[in-house]
Amino acid sequence: MRFPFHFRLIPFIATFLIALLGIALGNWQQGRAAQKLAVQEKLAALAVEAPVALGATLTPAAALEYRRVSITGEFVADWPLFLANRPMAGRPGYYLVMPFKIAGSHTHVLVMRGWLPREAEYGKLPAFATPAGTLTIEGIVVASAGQVMALGDATPLAPKAIVQNIDPKGVSRATGLVLQPFFVQQTGPDQPDGALLRVWPSPSSGIDKHRGYAFQWYALAAMAILFFVITGFRSGSKQRDARKPEAETSDAGK
């Protein structure tokens, strides 16, 4: 028994484009999942290594990213910056970022000291304490402090400024300080008052989410192809059934 198929060019082109888009986006999401899986494996391997002593020599971020480091020096207390729109556990707040002068040099590094809750009155800065004098801190090197959607014009960098996003080059221009081209997410030592929370987001989070998105895009491509095939057979069957009465009439006339 034959199953006639009616090929239609425009639906075929539309199906081809939808399937191509679905496969391409699915592959992209799979790639993102693979990247985060690689980061996860790298984090697990670096977590068991001893902290690296961060020196004054400027080092590319890629050479130290995700490594645990220890730094001896002192905070530049008069240059705190507040990264806005950084919620934690559903609460609005800021990341407190401050330059840290590396002992025995003129080199600094931007330290993300922790998270502070936002006051009810926007623009009112939360209270925090900065240890004075020389100390040794520990943390994890990250290439970026994270990017959020910028709302309106960027706030000029100044001491105690509330900003959306920052990068070491911009802070270096504003402060005149020599800065390492990366950030350090501080993990220790703990603060006595516990005001600064240091539950940093994992760069490897969201692997299952990307895989789920990839499945959805692949499913879209498969559904588009299946729909084209089914409608093609249905259309072919309708045309065959429509020709049957004509053929029967022709046979009867003979």
245 belongs to a structural domain: no
The H or E element spanning position 184 is: strand 178-188
Q: pLDDT tier at 106 (50, 70, 90 boundaries)? A: very high
Answer whether 171's CB lies under 8 Å from 179's CB.
Answer: yes
Shared domain check, 86 and 198: yes
**22 and 137: one domain?**
no
Is the C-alpha dihedral spanning 195, 171, 147, 207 positive or negative? negative
Q: Is the Cβ–Cβ distance between 132 and 114 less than 8 Å?
A: no
Lowest-confidence range among 30-44, 134-148, 154-168? 30-44
pLDDT value for 152: 63
Same domain, 94 and 180: yes
Tokens for 110, please give them. 């931007």
Residue 35, both tokens:
């990247």
How far are the Cα atoms of 11, 147, 162 from residue 65, in angstroms, in the given order? Answer: 49, 17, 26
Average pLDDT of the segment spanning 239-252: 62
Domain region containing 212? 8-57+204-237
Give the confidence band of 239 by pLDDT, cuts at 50, 70, 90: confident
Do 111 and 19 fall into the same domain?
no
Task: Tell me if 244 is assigned to some domain.
Answer: no
Q: Which two tokens stand for residue 43?
A: 């984090």
Are residues 168 and 44 part of one domain? no
Identify the pLDDT of residue 42.
76
CA nearest neighbour of 183 among 138, 139, 136, 141: 141
My answer on whether 112 and 197 are in the same domain is yes
Query: Angle 9-47/207-253 helices, nearest 10 degrees?
Result: 160
108, 130: one domain: yes
Residue 3 in any domain: the answer is no
Q: Are residues 148 and 158 in the same domain?
A: yes
Cα distances from 159 to residues 81, 129, 162, 183, in angstroms, run 6, 15, 9, 18
Over residues 80-103, the pLDDT tens digits come to 999 999 998 888 999 999 999 999
Q: Which two tokens stand for residue 232?
A: 């093609």
Which of the pair, 78 or 192, is modelled with greater confidence?
78
Q: Is the domain of 221 the same as that of 169?
A: no
Residue 156 confidence (pLDDT): 84
The reply to whether 111 and 154 lie within a common domain is yes
- Judge if 19 and 100 occupy the same domain: no
| Paired tokens of 10 | 């425009």
How far apart are alpha carbons 31 and 39 in whole angstroms?
12
Q: How confident is the model at residue 1 (pLDDT cuts 50, 70, 90)?
A: low
Distance CA 244, CA 232 (A): 19
Q: Are residues 210 and 192 in the same domain?
A: no
pLDDT for the residue numbered 64: 92
Q: Which residue has the higher pLDDT, 24 or 89?
A: 24
> How confident is the model at residue 250, as a pLDDT?
57
- Mean pLDDT (the chain) is 87
